Amino acid sequence: MVERVAAGMSLAAEFERRAEGRSETPRAALIDLTHGTLRRYGRVQAIVRQLSRRASGDALVEALLWCSLYALESGRYADYTVVDQAVRACGLLERWNAKGYVNAVLRGFLRERGSLEARIQADVEARYQHPRWWIEIVRAAYPADAEAVLAAGNSHPPMCLRVNRRRASVAPYQERLLATGIGSRTLGNEALLLERPVPVERLPGFDSGEVSVQDAGAQRAAYCLDVADGQRVLDACAAPGGKSGHLLECAQLELTALDADAGRCARLERNLARLGLHARVMNADCTRPGDWWDGVPFDRVLADVPCSASGIARRHPDIKWLRRANDVEAFAARQAAILDALWQVLGADGRLLYATCSVFPQENDAVIDAFIARQRSPGARAVRLPLPDGGAAQGLPGAERDGFYYALIRKQA
């Protein structure tokens, strides 16, 4: 799986492919090994380059070495066990001639660990475990916080819950969690941050819709859109439905939820059904209103646009290595097209909330500033408003939440 990600496949696609077949490998073990290795991808690559005398190696053997180095550095296993199992794996992978090479590289790592550390620190991709272009953007945007932002991108993500206010209350639900051995603390409103992640099967009332898994940063969207009973609301890029569900929990709305992917629309409908909520779900491209809009303006529009996902990279550790520097410009162009299209369906004095899970300014302030500059026609001027929750537009990833950006725009009549 790691070898295929290195060749350009997404990790999510690999897990979907595995789910369609038969595998006796526990999912938790696969998640640990694949995610752990890819979070350290820049580092393990640099270590192999330092220790290998081969100009270019077999891609599958290289991936075996990366995974083995992660296992050694994780501290969960005895060193000799990892080395022994890696050598045995060469046979399972039908790479019998690589046994000596794998043994030599891993034993070299154990022998030279101290000196290796000093040697690879000069390599910024090995040190920060992000691509060089990504590091440069973060450093330029957040000089004082760059180290923390990059470190967060390599960390294990927090697990946060959103209590469905229509079916439960925060304090009693927190007590139920504690009764099952799950510690948590409140983060305001309906958010509960778990002391450690747990399978959703362990969450009381999950199947009956009492609670959802949603990052605290993502939960800001419903409060920043500031919805009220009776409003006509559009969630323009809605799947898998976390924000749609939260909006419907907050108020009685006439909600339309769009997504361009039919499979994701089906997942959205399942998520809403679990919560006991209803929306008009449509498989449509939000940039083509003529295909789906009935001509009645919306009071509120949520534009949770496609982006680099640089604020949630720790949840998808393959993203940083699959993305390319020119992808950021392409995302910005797509985001501008979405804003221009959705502006047409927003009613006079309506509010549009622009949201990304990115920390790159090129996808955030730059896109919004350019959009506001374009929308200056009488009766439909774009005016940026303070966020209703009083928070900053750009939230950076940290111990409690992921990195999200929000901008609220009013269509001034």
Per-residue pLDDT of 377-391, as tens digits, reads 887 899 999 999 999
Is the pTM of the predicted complex or chain greater than 0.85? Answer: yes
| Separation between Cα atoms, residue 209 and residue 163, nearest integer Å | 9
Q: What angle do CA 77, 15, 317 make, to 5 degrees?
A: 65
**Which domains are delineated in the chain?**
2-129 (1.10.940.10), 160-212 (3.30.70.1170), 216-412 (3.40.50.150)
Nearest CA-CA partner of 246 in 279, 288, 283: 279
Mean pLDDT of all residues in 121-134: 93
pLDDT of residue 261: 93
| Separation between Cα atoms, residue 326 and residue 307, nearest integer Å | 12
pLDDT of residue 22: 63
pLDDT of residue 57: 77
Q: Which residues of 195-229 are buried (b: 16+ CB within 10 A; e: fewer)?
A: eeeeeeeebbebeebbbbebbbbbbbbbbbbbbee
Secondary-structure percent of the chain, ordered helix, strand, coil, rounded to 5: 50, 15, 35
Catalytic residue among 67, 160, 307, 357: 357
pLDDT score of 20 more than 80: no
The answer to whether residue 357 is catalytic is: yes
* φ, ψ dihedrals at 154, nearest 5°: -105, 0
| Separation between Cα atoms, residue 61 and residue 99, nearest integer Å | 9
Q: Decide: residue 356, CB within 10 A, 0-12 exposed, 13-18 middle, 19+ buried.
A: buried
